[in-house]
Chain A
Amino acid sequence: MQVLFTLVGNRRYAIDCADTIEVLPVVAHRHVGVGPQWLLGLINVRGELLPLVDLSAIVENKPTELRLASRIVLLRLEGELFEGMATKVGLLVPELAGPFERDFSGAGAHPGFAFAGASHLGPTIADSDGMVQLLRCRRLLEGDAALRELPLAAWTQP
C-alpha cells in the first residue's frame, strides 16, 4: 500500500494514501477559539470551508510547531461516525514525505494494542529508518469524548 510518512515529536507515523484526497501547503486558517485543543479552525480550499485538525495535538497532546516542511493533508473520512456520509477534514502535520510503498499487513507487522481510546493507532512495522505506525485516519477523531459534543452536521457536506 502507498503511504505518506510524517514525523510527530520523534515518532514516525504513516497515512494511507487511500484516505487522502490531496496534499496542500500550509494556508492561513480562521481560528475558532472554542472547543478542543486539536480543533484549530476553518480553512478555505478552493471555495470550500473545511475544519482543520492538529495531528500533533491528538497524538502528542501539544500543538504543531510550523516548519517549511509542514503540510496540510486533506482527508476523506467515511464510516459509522459520519452516518455513511463522506466528510472532508484538513489534517495539519509537522512534516511530510512520500509516498512510499509499505506493507502493514505482512508477517513482520505488529498488530498494535487494543486499548480504549487508541482505535486510531494501527499496526507498526520497521524499515531501514526505524519503526513506523500506521494511523487509521477514519478513527482518528473517535477516541475523544468531546467529539460527540461537536456540531458534526456543520462538518458534513451534503
Chain B
Amino acid sequence: MMFGVLPAVAVLLLAFGTNGYRAWTRSTEALDGDLRHAAELIVQKIDALNQRNVRLAQVMASAQESGQFGRRAESLRWIEKIMRDNPQAYGAGIAYEPNADGNDAAGAVEGVPANALGPGGRMFAYLKRDPKAPTGLRLEPLQDTEDDEGLWYAYPKERFARSGARDPVITKPYSYLGTDIIENVAPIIIDGSFKGIMSLDITLSEVQGTLLEEARRLDADLFLATRGLFIAATSDTRGGTSLRTTPVAESPLAPVFKVAASNLGASWTAEDPMLREEAFYVAGMVPTGEWTLLLRKPTSEVTRSVAQVVFWNLATGLVGIIVLVVVLWFGAAALARRVRVAKAMAGRIAGGDLSGDAVDARGADESAELIRAMNDMNAQLQGIVGAVRGACARLAATSAQLAATSQEQRVTVGSFGESTSQIAAAIREIAATGTELLRAVESIDAGARRTAASALEGRARLDAVSGTMSRLDAGTRDISDRLATIAEKAAAISMVVTTIAKVAEQTNLLSVNAAIEAEKAGDAGFGFLVVAREIRRLADQTAGASHDIARIVSQMQASVSSGVAEMSRFAGEMRQGTGDVQAIAGELGEIISEIESSSTRFSDVRTGMSSQSQGVAQIEQAVMQVAAGARQSSASAQEFSRVADELAHAVAVLQDAAARFRLREDQQP
C-alpha cells in the first residue's frame, strides 16, 4: 500500500514546484508590459487633449485672418461663445499689435468696453472664468507678464519674424496673476505681416485632474514636465508640496528625468531618490507641446501580487496531497475486509446452506455492491427452492385431478356423438323443404315470364296500329294539299271568266258604236248595221255564259273550302288517336319492365335458395366431421389419462431433489 501512495505524492510535489516558478516569471513579465502599455495610453490621451486646444486657438486666429480682424466687438462675442462651448478652457485672449487695425484711437467708441483695451487703445482683451461674475465670465485687459524668454506674445512674434512659422504653439507652464496655466497661442498673420495673437488658456489643475484620474486607476505616480519645468505631478498630494512650475533640476527627481530623456517608450528599475527604495519607471513623450511623461511604481508593490498568487498555489497543492493519502489508506483497508466476508459467504452457499443471515453491507463502493449482490443471491436462492417445493406439492394434486377429469371427458364425448347424429337428421329435413320452396318459386317465375311475353306482343300490335294511323294522317295531309290546288285552279278560272266578261262588254260597246256609225252612213251602212246588231247579240250571250261559269266556280270554291275544313278536323282527331295509342303502348312497356324486374328478383330468390341448399349440405358435412372428431376425442382422452400418470411420477422425483437444500424455516421447529 505504501508503495502505491508515496511515488504519487513525490510526482505531485515536483509539478507544483515547477508551476510556481513559471507563474512567478510570467507574471512579472506581464506586469512590465501592462505598465508600459498604460503609459502609452496616457500619452495618447494627453496628446489628444492638447491637440484639441491647439486647434481651437488656430481656429480663432483663422477667423481673424478671414475678416474678423478689426471688428473688435464681434471678435469679443465670438471668443465668449468659444469659452461657453469649451468648459476645459480657463481663459481666451485677443492681442493686436499697437494700432494694427487703425482703430486704436477710436477703440472705445465702437461699443467695445474699456476693459478690452490695452495701453494706447490697442485691442488687448482677456476673457476668463470667474465664479463671482454674473455670467460666469469676466473681461479684463491683458497684463503684460512676459519675462525675457518670451511667453504668449513675444515668442510667436519673434518665431514668425525668424522663420516665418505661423503654426500655433503651447507655452511653458507659468503663473498668470496667481493662476498656474499653459497657453495655446496662434499668431494672426495678414498679408504676410504679424498683426497679433489669439490665445486659449488651460489651467495646470485641469491637466493634473486628468493625471490623477489615470494614477488612481493604475495605483502609480505620474509626472509631466516640459522645458525643464513641472506641469503636473500626482505625488503632490503625498508630499504636500506643489511641484507645478518648479524647475525639474531643483527637484529630487532630477536624476530620474535625466535617465528618462534617453529611455522614452522604455521601462527600467532604479533606486528612487524620493521613496528611498527600488522603483519601476516608464517614460513617454507627448508630441504636441513636447511634454515628457514619467510613470513610477515601487518594485515591492509590483511583485507583491505575483508572490501572493504563487504562495496560494503551493499551499492548496500540499493540502490536496495530504487529503489524498489519508483517503487512499482507509479505502484500501475497507475493501480488503469486505472481500474476505464475501469469500466466506460464497463457500457457505456452495455447500447448500442457504440459512445464513444477510451480512452488513453499507456503503457506495464496489466492495459493498459485491456483498449486497451476495446477499441478494442468497435470498433469491431461498425463494426459488421454497417455490419449487410448493410447486411440487401443487403438481402432485393437479395430476390426480387430471386423471379423474379425463375419465369424465370420455363419458361426455360418447353422449356428444349421439346428439350429433340427431342434428344431422334435422338438417336433412331442412334441405328437403328448401328444395320444394325452390321449385314453387321457379313456377311463379315462369308464369311472370309468360305474362311479359303477352304484353310484348300487345305492344308490337299497338305499334302497328300507330304506324297505320301515321300513314292515314299523311294521306289526309295529301288530300288537303290537293284540295288547296283545286282552290287555286278555281281562282284562276274565276280570273279568266272576269276577263271574258270584260271582253263581252267591250264587244257590246263596239257593236253599239258600229251601229251608230252605220246609221250615220245612211242606207249604205244598213248591211253593216245588221252585222253590228248580230255582234251585240253574241256579246250579250257571252256575257250571260260567263256569268253562269262564275256562279258555278264560286259554288265549287265553297265546296272545296268546306272540304278543307273537314279534312283538317279529321286530321286533328287522327293525331289525338295516335297519341292515345302511344300512351297505351307506353303503359304496356312499363308493365313489361316491372314483370322483368320481378323476374330478376325471382332469380335472386332462386339463387339464394340454391345457395341455402348448398349451405345445408355443408352443415351436414360439418356435423359428420364433428361426430368423427368426437370419436377421436375419446381416443385422446385415454392418451391424456396415461400422460397424467407419468406426470405424477415425475413430480415425485422433483420433490426428492428439492429436499436436498436446507432452508431457514427448516431450522425453526
| Chain A residues at the B interface, C-beta cutoff of 8 Å | 2, 4, 17-18, 20, 22-25, 68, 71, 96, 98-99
A95 to B513 alpha-carbon distance, docked (Å) = 15
Contact of A17 among B505, B509, B516 (CB under 8 A): B516
Q: Which residue of A lies closest to B515 (CB)?
A: A99
CB of B481 closer than 8 Å to a CB of A? no
User: How many residues of B sit at the interface, in one of the four size bands?
Assistant: under 10
Given A2-B515, A98-B515, A99-B515, A18-B509 contact (CB < 8 Å):
no
CB <8 Å contact, A22 and B519: no
In angstroms, how far is the closest chain B Cβ from the Cβ of A70? 12
| Chain B residues at the A interface, C-beta cutoff of 8 Å | 505, 509, 512-513, 515-516, 519-520, 529
A4 neighbours in B (Cβ, 8 Å) = 512, 516
A-B contacts, 5 of them at CB < 8 A, read A17-B515, A18-B520, A20-B516, A71-B509, A98-B515
In angstroms, how far is the closest chain A Cβ from the Cβ of B501? 10
CB <8 Å contact, B519 and A17: yes
A20 to B513 alpha-carbon distance, docked (Å) = 9
Q: Which residue of A lies closest to B543 (CB)?
A: A68
Q: Which residue of B lies closest to A1 (CB)?
A: B519
CB <8 Å contact, A2 and B513: no
A18 to B516 alpha-carbon distance, docked (Å) = 8
CB <8 Å contact, A23 and B520: no
B519 neighbours in A (Cβ, 8 Å) = 2, 17-18, 99
B516 neighbours in A (Cβ, 8 Å) = 2, 4, 17, 20, 22-23, 99
B contact patch SS: helix
A24 to B515 alpha-carbon distance, docked (Å) = 14
In angstroms, how far is the closest chain B Cβ from the Cβ of A100? 9
Contact of B512 among A18, A68, A98 (CB under 8 A): A98
Q: Which 4 A-B pairs have the closest CB atoms?
A: A2-B519, A17-B519, A99-B515, A17-B516
A98 neighbours in B (Cβ, 8 Å) = 512, 515
Among B505, B515, B529, max chain A CB count under 10 A is at B515
Q: Which residue of B lies closest to A98 (CB)?
A: B512
Given A17-B520, A18-B519, A99-B512 contact (CB < 8 Å):
yes
B529 neighbours in A (Cβ, 8 Å) = 2
A20 neighbours in B (Cβ, 8 Å) = 516
Among B515, B516, B519, max chain A CB count under 10 A is at B516
A152 to B19 alpha-carbon distance, docked (Å) = 174
B515 neighbours in A (Cβ, 8 Å) = 2, 17, 98-99
Q: Which residue of A lies closest to B517 (CB)?
A: A22
In angstroms, how far is the closest chain A Cβ from the Cβ of B581? 58
In angstroms, how far is the closest chain B Cβ from the Cβ of A25? 6
A2 to B516 alpha-carbon distance, docked (Å) = 8
A96 neighbours in B (Cβ, 8 Å) = 512
Q: Which residue of B lies closest to A16 (CB)?
A: B519
B509 neighbours in A (Cβ, 8 Å) = 23-25, 71
A98 to B519 alpha-carbon distance, docked (Å) = 12
CB <8 Å contact, A22 and B520: no
B512 neighbours in A (Cβ, 8 Å) = 4, 23, 96, 98-99
